[in-house]
Structure 1
Amino acid sequence: MTVPMLQRLCVLAAAGVAIGASFLQATGALGLTPAEFANTGDSTVKAASYAFAIWGLIYAGLLIYGIYQLVPGWAEDAMLRRFGWPSALSMVAIGAWLVAAGADWRWATVGLIALAALALIVPLLSSSARMRFRDALLIQTPLALLAGWLTIATVLNAATVLTAEGFVADDLATWWAIGALAIAAAVAVFVLLRSDALAYPLPLIWGLIAVFVAERDHRPEAAWFAVGCALFLAALLVWRTARVLKPNSRDALTPASTPAP
């Protein structure tokens, strides 16, 4: 069944919403910047500011994905049915998160970023037919990178809001930080073991290292825990990559079969 043009247009529009909201946020039109929003409760755990530069790569990938899936025949319909509507929901939620953060709607940001992450993780876990390399590169990879970053961003966002709302006691803040990082790492391990999306853990590793940079003097226990999680995920990724790309592996990505003339 061919994917309808309405879905393709909605996906492209959703990418425009996510990217457009980021431009509005940069101009100050949405109120608080993400950094200003985080400053209200980032005393428990945070990532170094340089880590958020990954959004440039993510937005570029989303734009490429939105254009690629728009043209009938470029991507396999099975891939578009798997990721189309979930990706649109996730990208709209990203844009809405920027609006909520700008307005300092703290609990709304928790729900929106978790929704954005979950919307992509579910199709990443879905068993799929062997896909073409082109589809893996231009559809799965951009969305896996977004899902990976949203995984660690969700726990950092939740810790920020809980701290700002007074739920985190100072004497237990380090344990809250470690617990938040452990949740992100556990989700990452689960997804990596169940999915062929090898790009997914890369933003998590990037973010965990950024947590180490930011917290090594403030909360060294949490910082070194973040390093340990990053190293474990890196080792697991190497193992998983070898397994997925192994010839004759049932998980391996292979070119789509050529139809008979």
Structure 2
Amino acid sequence: MTRNDLRTLLNIALPLAQPLVGAMASVFGIGHTQAEMSARSQTPVVPAGYAFSIWGLLFALSIAWGIWQLLPSAGRDSLVARRLGWPLAATFAGSILWMVLSQLTENGWHLVAVMLLVLSASLTAFFVNRRAEHGLAATQAERWLIRPLVGLLAGWVSVATFANIAGAALVSGFFPNQGAGLTVAAVLILLACGGLVLTVLWIARGSPWYAAAVAWALVAILYANTAGRDFNLGVAITAGALLAVVLAMAWQRARRPLQAQFR
């Protein structure tokens, strides 16, 4: 088997495995569900439960990518498949490892370590694709499959990583579990998350898909800290402010290259 054959195989096998591994507890009765694990280490940084439905879309896009890059007439020998195949395979593998550990163990720094690897791999795929976008005419696969996949995946994982950090810190005793300390810690985590997200958007010159995933998560955090769970005004205001800034930056950075063409 050649290196290219291995890359192609991993990019179809790993996406197909993701939903099966994610259902270890809920369907196959192995371990505890990720929702149960998350509830035992819940902080104000964790989005409302409905937000995690985005994984259904991410799983579907990942499988569609796997099929597309498998087809000889489409993506198998394409430059896009060669560029994105390995970082996406690393993202899928890391995601699977995180799902296994989250259903067999409790929240902790081992999950954060895996999530950081997923974040690194997903941002690598995102930036590689962003670099390749400029100056090239977008195909249908690029516009409706590849950009949504790498953008939504990197955006969601960017926020999920900091939620994971907050949960691990709570379990380890580094994160206050009540009072003003809880609010301050959650706000600081959100600001750190915002720093990463805004840096990514600045470097990438905007990305509607990345911004959409981040916005989805921030709206769910805002809802969780108002109507969804315990009311926390400080966290809600911070999430709302970050949401506005993220959307504004995504819009402005995306428009700048277009404006430059007419100067």
Deviations 1:79-138 (A, max 9, x none): 222211111111111111111111225222111112111101123224225252322432
Query: Which sits farther off after the overlay, 189-198 or 99-108?
Result: 189-198
RMSD: 2.3
2:132 is the alignment partner of 1:128: yes
Q: Secondary structure at the match of 1:41?
A: coil
Residue type at the aligned position of 1:168:
F
Distance 1:245-1:5 versus aligned 2 partners, 3 A rule: farther
Change (3 A) 1:131 1:12: farther
Amino acid at match of 2:47: A
Residue 146 (structure 1) aligned with residue 153 (structure 2): yes
Q: Could you say which residue in structure 2 is the equivalent of 1:254?
A: none
How many residue pairs match? The answer is: 248
1:68–1:138 CA contact under 8 A, matched in 2 = no
List alignment gaps of at least 5 residues for structure 1.
250-261
Q: TM-score, normalised by structure 2?
A: 0.86
Q: 1:192 matched to which residue of 2?
A: 201
Q: Percent identity?
A: 26
CA offset at residue 42 of structure 1?
A: 0.9
Moved more, 139-148 or 40-49: 40-49
TM-score w.r.t. the length of structure 1 is 0.86
What per-residue deviation string (whole Å, max 9, x for no partner) do you get for residues 14-45 of structure 1? 11222221232431534121111112221343
Q: Distance in 2 between matches of 1:120 and 1:202?
A: 16
Retained in 2: the 8 A contact 1:3–1:80? no
The residue that corresponds to 1:177 in the other structure is: 186
Alpha carbons of 1:131 and 1:92: their partners in 2 closer, same or farther (altered >3 Å)? Answer: farther
CA contact (8 A) 2:91 2:122 kept: yes
Query: Secondary structure at 1:26's aligned position in 2?
Result: coil
CA contact under 8 A between 1:148 and 1:204: conserved in structure 2?
yes
Gaps in structure 2 of 5+ consecutive residues? none
Give the alignment of 1:1-261 within 5 angstroms.
4-27=4-27, 29-75=29-75, 77-105=78-106, 106-126=108-128, 127-128=131-132, 130=136, 132-134=138-140, 135-169=142-176, 170=178, 171-195=180-204, 197-216=207-226, 217-244=230-257, 248=261
Give the C-alpha shift of residue 225 in structure 1.
0.5
The answer to whether the 8 A contact 1:3-1:81 is kept is: no
More helix by share: 2
CA contact (8 A) 1:90 1:116 kept: yes
> What SS does structure 1 have at the residue aligned with 2:132?
coil
Letter in 1 for 2:99: L
CA gap of 1:128–1:57, structure 2 versus 1, over 3 A, is same
Residues 62, 245 of structure 1: alpha-carbon distance in 2 compared, 3 angstrom cutoff: farther
AA at the equivalent of 2:256: R
